[in-house]
Structure 1
Amino acid sequence: MTTTGNHRTTPSPADPIGPDTIALLKALKLGALADTLGQRAALARQHNLSHISFLESLLSDEVSRRQSRSAALRSTKAGLDQTMRIDTWNAVDDLRYDRALLGDLVSLRFVDAGQSAIILGPVGVGKTHLATGLGHIVIGRHLNTVLFSRADKLFARLRAARLDNTVDAELRRLTTIDVLIIDDFALRPLDATETNDFYELVVERHKVRTTIVTSNREPAEWLTMTADALLAQSAIDRLTSNAHTLVIEGPSYRQRTRPSHRLDATTDQVHPH
């Protein structure tokens, strides 16, 4: 858009892109540039950009697009919910937590230091959301590998691997992932096999890889949920000694946002729950 005195002119129309140009872009695997090339060319003309500056703006668009696409693919592969990000976490006034600690976790210094994180709190305060959000930041800022899994599904995967004799390979894979997020840990009791798998994962990852654990129970309660207190104590001691613990207190977000009334379709009357 150009201006003359106090008057504004309409933006210059996008330059038409011919089929030969589109074919060349596609041959170079730059077909997505065709979507913005016309607008970029019009802006370049308005601002008298040099050819080099114009080329730089095009390449910058393509790099940003590829980085965004790569991050989206990696987060999907990691099992991260695309809607659960740090900036969409609903940290309302009635939630109590250490804001300085959360800010430190978001900085990812603990990941760089090979440390872990434990996020504790009652049902519905956003533990999973925060852990997932940290996973997205790791993928967006670093080249680290990430895997998110609910605890019961993680142990079920290891149990299934035993049936086809691939458990050693699966354990090696899990221990080499840079950031492993275990959600809803100790929500239900762990049997002997699950307790042993938890021990193996923690011991192998201790001070080498980052583990993020969310739980409704404090670590002291985890012992009562395991089948082997000695193995569990050894694992829990290692994990907690090298982890930052964020405690979130407050009412469930899901309960705060649930519908307060339901509509009876047959009578069109509103009734309280």
Structure 2
Amino acid sequence: MTTRTGEPIGNELLGLLKALKLGALADTLPARAALARQHKLSHITFLENLLADEVSRRETRSTTLRSKKAGLDPTMHLTDWQAPDDLRYDHTLLNDLATLRFLDASQSLIIQGPVGVGKTHLATAFGHLAIRRRHTVAFSRADKLFHRLRAARLDNTLDTELRRLTATDILIIDDFALRPLDATETSDFYELVIDRHRTKTTILTSNREPAEWLAMTADTMLAQSAIDRLTANAHTLTIEGPSYRQRTRAQLDATTHPEHPQ
């Protein structure tokens, strides 16, 4: 292997790097070596820069793998969420939530609003932020979550699945109460909320306000108990405005079928 400056990296060095599980350093070694010569860096500083590259690479890889395991969309980061001017929400609250102080306090978050305003994007973005701080995260659409719990009953793994979900630092439930919850789903929702109350963070996105959730459940007493606990310890971010998807569709139509001057 030859560096960009023409200096060869011998097989012996490559073998040593691989033996130490540092083979990826070979990718940055040429540039770092050239930079060290250019700025007359000490051997210690050169080694520090080289190892910093490796730490950064490993952190990035670890974050990517943990985000994938959590079920987070890799395209939904806070920096990618560009709210149009006609979207209405509490900017101060959103900025405060981005600090994740609510997570440190084991508080929850409800993101509510109509279809297509970015609720899922924001919930996912908070998940990515938490992953970077080495918290455990699990993301699931509500219907898929309850389906998985129902399946766990059939193979006698329900207790294991509930313990896993209860132990997760941030549980993100997307599209909650989009459709009615039957008796089993209502019971599972109750168990999750009770077990996580004031110890872990739950993030829910919903097209409905919490006041409407009760009518979507099959057991009023269980649901009321769960909803009361959840809302008492949760921030609520309300987003109002037209659907982003419809806005994008309108822009696409305008591009595809531009109006011709008469």
Q: What's the TM-score, normalizing by structure 1? A: 0.90
1:260 — aligned with what? 253
2:18 — aligned with what? 26
**Equivalent position SS for 1:26:** helix
CA-to-aligned-CA distance 1:19-46 (integer Å, 9 cap, x gap): 2221111111101010110110000000
1:239 aligns with 2:194: no
The whole-number CA distance in structure 2 between the counterparts of 1:77 and 1:154 is 15
Which letter maps to 1:227?
A
CA-based RMSD of the aligned residues comes to 1.5
**Equivalent position SS for 2:24:** helix
Alignment check: 8 A CA contact 1:95 1:248 kept: yes
**Equivalent position SS for 2:205:** strand
**Equivalent position SS for 1:251:** coil
Larger radius of gyration: 1
2:86 — aligned with what? 94
1:109 — aligned with what? 101
**Equivalent position SS for 2:9:** coil
Alignment check: 8 A CA contact 1:145 1:178 kept: yes
The whole-number CA distance in structure 2 between the counterparts of 1:238 and 1:16 is 65
Name the structure with the higher helix share: 2
The whole-number CA distance in structure 1 between the counterparts of 2:190 and 2:214 is 12
**Equivalent position SS for 1:180:** strand
The whole-number CA distance in structure 2 between the counterparts of 1:206 and 1:14 is 61
1:161 — aligned with what? 152
Q: What's the TM-score, normalizing by structure 2? A: 0.94
Aligned residue pairs, count: 254
CA-to-aligned-CA distance 1:119-144 (integer Å, 9 cap, x gap): 0010000000000000000001x221
Aligned residue among 141, 148, 162 for 1:150: 141
User: Is there any run of 5+ residues in structure 2 with no aligned partner, and where?
Assistant: none
The whole-number CA distance in structure 2 between the counterparts of 1:178 and 1:106 is 16
CA-to-aligned-CA distance 1:214-258 (integer Å, 9 cap, x gap): 000000000110001111111000000000000000111111111
Over the matched positions of the two proteins, sequence identity in percent amounts to 72
- Residue 87 of structure 1 and its aligned partner are, at CA, apart by 0.4
Which letter maps to 2:203?
I
The whole-number CA distance in structure 2 between the counterparts of 1:19 and 1:243 is 57
The whole-number CA distance in structure 1 between the counterparts of 2:6 and 2:241 is 52
1:205 — aligned with what? 196
- Residue 261 of structure 1 and its aligned partner are, at CA, apart by 5.7
- Residue 91 of structure 1 and its aligned partner are, at CA, apart by 1.1
Which letter maps to 1:155?
F
The whole-number CA distance in structure 2 between the counterparts of 1:188 and 1:166 is 25
Which letter maps to 2:94?
L
